[in-house]
Structure 1
Amino acid sequence: MDEIWKEIEDIATENGGFIKTSQIEKIGISRQKIKKYVDEGALEVIKKGLYAIANDVPDEYVKIQMQSTKVIFSYGAALFLWDMSDRVPHQIDVTVPQGTNMTRIKNRNENLRFHYVTKDLYEVGITQTTSPQGGTVWLYDKERCICDLIRDKEKTEMQLYSQAIKEYFKGKPNYRKLLKYGKMFDIEDKIRTYMEVLT
């Protein structure tokens, strides 16, 4: 590849494998040149104005979140990121506010499973952690994950459910936060039962 391509690769390296149109234009590379690289299969379009080097494997979790600021990793995906599940998720669970149009991101990512919640519940427990490839990602904290599991026990695979509950209670559980969330999700009594049995 040419000297211009080397500059694009340098930008990608500095930004976790991703490049924005604005970053490319800042160093004097035209949109026509960007389109040429896309047409040749050298650049992959992540979303409008965002690219990755086609043969590189950018951080999958970061790649998903860069497509929408509304996407929060939850359920099995969050449990995996918290080391509360040893199962690498084939379907990546994400939660978004009800009424959010996710058509574009769904079309680009067949492995995503969406959960929709009201805006007030959507914001409960959002935090950050590091993905397996070292990127910073948004997900629900451990207490929110436990509440989601208890709320949706019938829809959750038993092995995943049991491992996550055991891992949480044998770690450093934050009972105050767990009960606070439990009240919001109307499952406080169920949480108290788990606390009595597992502590």
Structure 2
Amino acid sequence: MATLRPGSAEEAGLSRSGLYRAVREGRLTRVARGIYLPADADVADWDWIEAATRRPNATICLASALAHHELTDEIPAALDIAIPRGSRTPASDGAIAWHQFDRATFDIGRKEIPIPGTDQTVWIYSPERSIADAFRLRGEVGYELAREALKEWLRRGGKPARLMEMASRLPRAQSPVLQALEALA
């Protein structure tokens, strides 16, 4: 199901007032400020929808990406979303933690995935990028998150050479990743 916004209501055959009337009548559900879904839409993660709608380049990162890849048991309190450094951080209603990543490395390890229950997509970082980010931002996310994700990734057959190649492309990642790999060896 496609999201509706006041600016795109006409494309769906609704005026702005018709959009708000549909919300009052229960035909549309408010996902976040200015974002609506049909009331009969499939169940979906509203934070993912809000992030993808507010920022087309929004990328799931850090603990949220590690949780999606099933590399941590931690349940993030908020959806971790990366946007390019210098971008305006959107105001949001949901539990979204916006992180600004360097534009030069922003696209490394990204892929687009569908948002379950919708026809929208959102970007997410690969397991290798997410682990490298957790190590380089360990002061922000905690060292345990990075170490436990690395252990699980290795247990599942992750290739250290691929991880080191990813870490070498990111600032402040190569040394802590290498140290952790050596400690686990």
Separation in 1 of the partners of 2:31 and 2:114?
24
CA RMSD of aligned residues (A): 2.8
Separation in 1 of the partners of 2:66 and 2:85?
22
Separation in 1 of the partners of 2:125 and 2:150?
15
Counterpart amino acid of residue 119 in structure 1: R
Percentage of pairs with the same residue: 21
Q: Which has the larger radius of gyration?
A: 1
**Helix, strand or coil: the match of 2:161?**
helix
What's the CA shift for 1:62? 3.2
Q: Does 1:171 align with 2:156?
A: yes
Decide which of 54, 57, 60 is 1:73's aligned counterpart. 60
Residue 167 and residue 72 in structure 1: after superposition, are their counterparts in 2 closer, same or farther (change >3 A)? same
Counterpart amino acid of residue 176 in structure 1: A
TM-score, with normalisation over the residues of structure 2? 0.77
Q: Counterpart in 2 of 1:58?
A: 44
Q: Does 1:125 align with 2:114?
A: no
Decide which of 172, 180, 184 is 1:194's aligned counterpart. 180
- Report if aligned partners of 1:71, 1:96 keep a CA contact under 8 Å in 2: yes
Residue 73 and residue 169 in structure 1: after superposition, are their counterparts in 2 closer, same or farther (change >3 A)? same
- Report if aligned partners of 1:169, 1:198 keep a CA contact under 8 Å in 2: no
Q: Counterpart in 2 of 1:95?
A: 82
Aligned length: 176
* Residue deviations 1:34-55 (CA, integer Å, cap 9, x gap): 232134464226465x521358
What's the CA shift for 1:72? 0.6
Separation in 2 of the partners of 1:159 and 1:23?
48
Structure 1: runs of 5 or more not aligned = 1-11
TM-score, with normalisation over the residues of structure 1? 0.72
- After TM superposition, list the pairs within 5 Å mapping 1:1-199 onto structure 2: 12=1, 15=2, 18-19=3-4, 21=9, 23-25=11-13, 29-40=14-25, 42-43=27-28, 44=30, 46=32, 50-53=35-38, 57-60=43-46, 61-104=48-91, 106=92, 108-109=93-94, 111-129=95-113, 133=116, 136-184=121-169, 185-199=171-185
Residue 41 and residue 164 in structure 1: after superposition, are their counterparts in 2 closer, same or farther (change >3 A)? same
- Report if aligned partners of 2:67, 2:75 keep a CA contact under 8 Å in 1: yes
